[in-house]
């Protein structure tokens, strides 16, 4: 074997040796792996996690509703005289909840018969909206009270209780359940506002200083989906109060409307 052939084989073996791992290469692979894991977590949080959390919140609400149903019903409130002789009860106004304290549950038949989400005091993301459910604004009126019962909730992530606000239709029921009974509101209109437009929370929404003697409900959430640029606001008006001793209101016992499809 000639010297030139031996030399060529040695060079070939040297070229075939695996390159040594460098710090930069290892760091790059770690960062790539970390990026993939972050993307998987975000996907879980936005879709799979939302489905799980939403089901858990509805189950929790159903358990609370069942507990109230099995307890002794409160005494019937006074009856309001009406011209047509129908029985209308004076609303039993609950006390304002403390921060993170449960006020009641919300039912929206348009969102499905299983929709039963807890309502809590305060609108802090960390203490209420992320962990518990729907939050009541600090200066809000209470269910059935003259003025504006105003709440906030997530439209994406953390169970997204207000994901389908844009699917509400005129006349849809929004029912607030407390230990004393059910407050039925009817959806009227929807609008989009800037985050700074807090006039939507006034006793008469968007009308400073106005007094109408009406009872309103206002639901707010971030919009568009996955953005903080605007707020979507749903308004409703009070229809009736149903004492617990009388059983659930027709809005929850009549055949409900078909559930809305998911917002995208």
Is 70 exceeded by the pLDDT of residue 9? no
In angstroms, the CA 88 to CA 71 distance is: 23
> Does residue 207 sit within a domain?
yes
> Does residue 76 sit within a domain?
yes
Question: What CATH number corresponds to the domain at position 181?
Answer: 2.40.260.10
Interval 146-156 mean pLDDT: 97
At 18 the pLDDT is 57
Among 7-21, 172-186, 225-239, name the one with the lowest average pLDDT. Answer: 7-21
Q: How far is CA 54 from CA 47, 57, 104, 168, in A?
A: 11, 5, 17, 19
Q: How far is CA 53 from CA 3, 130, 149, 166, in A?
A: 74, 10, 25, 21
> Does residue 82 sit within a domain?
yes
Q: What are phi and psi of 229, to 5 degrees?
A: -65, -35
Structural domain range at position 179: 46-253
In angstroms, the CA 167 to CA 56 distance is: 22
Among 47-56, 149-158, 176-185, 204-213, name the one with the lowest average pLDDT. Answer: 47-56
At 226 the pLDDT is 86
Share of the chain above pLDDT 70, in %: 81
At 128 the pLDDT is 97
> Does residue 119 sit within a domain?
yes
| Residue 166, helix vs strand vs coil | helix
Share of the chain above pLDDT 90, in %: 70
pTM: 0.82
For the stretch 94-112, pLDDT in tens is 999 999 999 999 999 999 9
Instruction: Give the pLDDT band of residue 163 (cuts 50, 70, 90).
Output: very high
Q: How far is CA 61 from CA 170, 176, 241, in A?
A: 25, 12, 20
- The CA-based dihedral angle spanning residues 114, 115, 120, 122, taken in that order and rounded to the nearest 10 degrees: 160
Is 80 exceeded by the pLDDT of residue 236? yes
Among 62-76, 92-106, 111-125, 244-258, name the one with the lowest average pLDDT. Answer: 244-258
In angstroms, the CA 183 to CA 175 distance is: 6
For the stretch 178-215, pLDDT in tens is 999 999 999 999 999 999 999 999 999 999 999 999 99
Q: Give the helix/strand (H/E) hosting 66.
A: helix 49-70
> Does residue 51 sit within a domain?
yes
Interval 24-43 mean pLDDT: 59
Number of domains in the chain: 1
Q: Are strands 230-243 and 215-223 parallel, antiparallel or unpaired?
A: antiparallel
Instruction: Give the pLDDT band of residue 85 (cuts 50, 70, 90).
Output: confident
In angstroms, the CA 132 to CA 85 distance is: 42
User: How far from chain centre, in Å, is Cα 249?
Assistant: 23
C-beta atoms surrounding 104 within 10 Å? 27
> Does residue 36 sit within a domain?
no
Q: What is the mean pLDDT of the chain?
A: 88
Instruction: Give the pLDDT band of residue 257 (cuts 50, 70, 90).
Output: confident
Q: Please state the length of the chain.
A: 264
> Does residue 34 sit within a domain?
no
In angstroms, the CA 219 to CA 166 distance is: 11
At 35 the pLDDT is 59
Residues near 42 by beta carbon (within 8 Å), at least 6 away in sequence? none
> Does residue 129 sit within a domain?
yes
Higher pLDDT: 8 or 213? It is: 213
């Amino acid at each position: 074997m000639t010297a030139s052939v031996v030399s060529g084989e040695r060079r070939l073996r040297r070229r075939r040796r695996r390159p040594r791992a460098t710090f930069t290469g290892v760091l790059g692979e770690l960062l790539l792996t970390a990026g993939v894991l972050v993307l998987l977590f975000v996907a879980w949080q936005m879709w799979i996690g939302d489905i799980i959390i939403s089901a858990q919140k509805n189950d929790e609400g159903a358990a609370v509703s069942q507990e109230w149903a099995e307890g002794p019903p409160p005494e019937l409130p006074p009856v309001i005289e009406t011209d047509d002789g129908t029985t209308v009860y004076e609303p039993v106004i609950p006390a304002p909840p403390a921060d993170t304290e449960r006020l009641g549950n919300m039912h929206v038949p348009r969102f499905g018969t299983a929709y039963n989400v807890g309502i809590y005091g305060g609108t802090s993301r960390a203490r209420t909206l992320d962990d518990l459910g729907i939050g009541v604004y600090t200066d809000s009126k209470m269910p059935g009270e003259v003025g504006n019962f105003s709440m906030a909730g997530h439209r994406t992530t953390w169970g997204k209780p207000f994901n389908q606000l844009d699917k509400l239709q005129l006349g849809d029921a929004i029912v607030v359940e407390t230990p004393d009974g059910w407050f039925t509101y009817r959806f009227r209109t929807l609008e989009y506002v800037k985050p700074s437009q807090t006039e939507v929370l006034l006793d008469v929404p968007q009308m400073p200083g106005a007094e109408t003697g009406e009872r309103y409900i206002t639901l707010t959430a971030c919009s568009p989906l996955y953005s903080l640029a605007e707020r979507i606001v749903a308004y409703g008006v009070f229809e009736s109060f149903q004492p617990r001793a009388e059983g659930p209101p027709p809005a929850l016992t009549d055949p409900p409307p078909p559930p809305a499809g998911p917002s995208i």
